[in-house]
Amino acid sequence: MKVGGINSVAEALKAGKVNKVFVDRECRNPRVLEIVAKAKKMGVPVVYVPRSALPKDSKGICADIAPIKYVEVDYLIDKCLRQGSFLLFLDSVEDPNNLGAVLRSAEFFGCAGVVIPKRRSAQITDTVVRVSAGAVLHLDVARVENLANVLKKLKKYGITVVGADLDGDPIDNVDMSPPLAMVVGGEDRGISRPVKKQCDFIAKIPGKGKVGSLNLSVAAGIMMFEFNRRLRE
């Protein structure tokens, strides 16, 4: 897989997932040169190429990275319990840009892991890596056949499941104590009925404007912030 962009390549190097770096031979951007120097120090091959050989949005640098390796969901459950943290379940998020944005926030807020369906969902592609600014390379992600079955399993371990939906209770009134699983639905349909049935609580984010809802990546970010805010209280 090839990913372009300064942040994506920098994070890929930090995660130890870069096989080779390609850089515009005429680039003088200090940040790019810093990444090149780091790659060489790590023993990662650096190839100088014409700008035309790089993706248009690469900012003068791209990298060939190791394929994304998904983890088992049981590993995420154990990790969440050990850390007293939260898991993020994404129900049919089909836009790779939304997926990338959510994953960036998930990594920022210390998510123990993300769970996505194997079907009817965007997967981890170069676009997702780029939009997440490489954050996904630091995250554990699991793919499962059936989200509802996994959520049902979580309850046996004492993990509370909170879904985000417009018909829920205000988020201030919803228990978000760890260990927790947050569920965010896709762009058009939201949380599916079988998945919603497994939620212990449904939370909504109250607003004051005329627009009735938030982009799913923004809603997920607010929920993750709220979880961390309560931990600090």
Domain 73-232 in this protein, CATH class? alpha beta
Handedness of CA 126, 6, 54, 12 (dihedral sign): negative
pTM for this entry? 0.90
- Fill in the DSSP letter of residue 2: E
Architecture of domain 2-65: 2-Layer Sandwich (3.30)
- Fill in the DSSP letter of residue 134: T
**Spans of all domains in the chain:** 2-65, 73-232
User: What residues contact 177, with CB distance under 8 A and at least 6 apart?
Assistant: 160, 230
pLDDT tens digits, residue range 22-54? 999 999 999 999 999 999 999 999 999 999 899
pLDDT tens digits, residue range 200-233? 999 999 888 878 778 899 999 999 999 999 988 7
pLDDT tens digits, residue range 127-172? 999 999 999 999 999 999 999 999 999 989 999 999 999 889 999 9
**Which pLDDT belongs to residue 180?**
97
Checking if the pLDDT of 102 tops 90, the result is yes
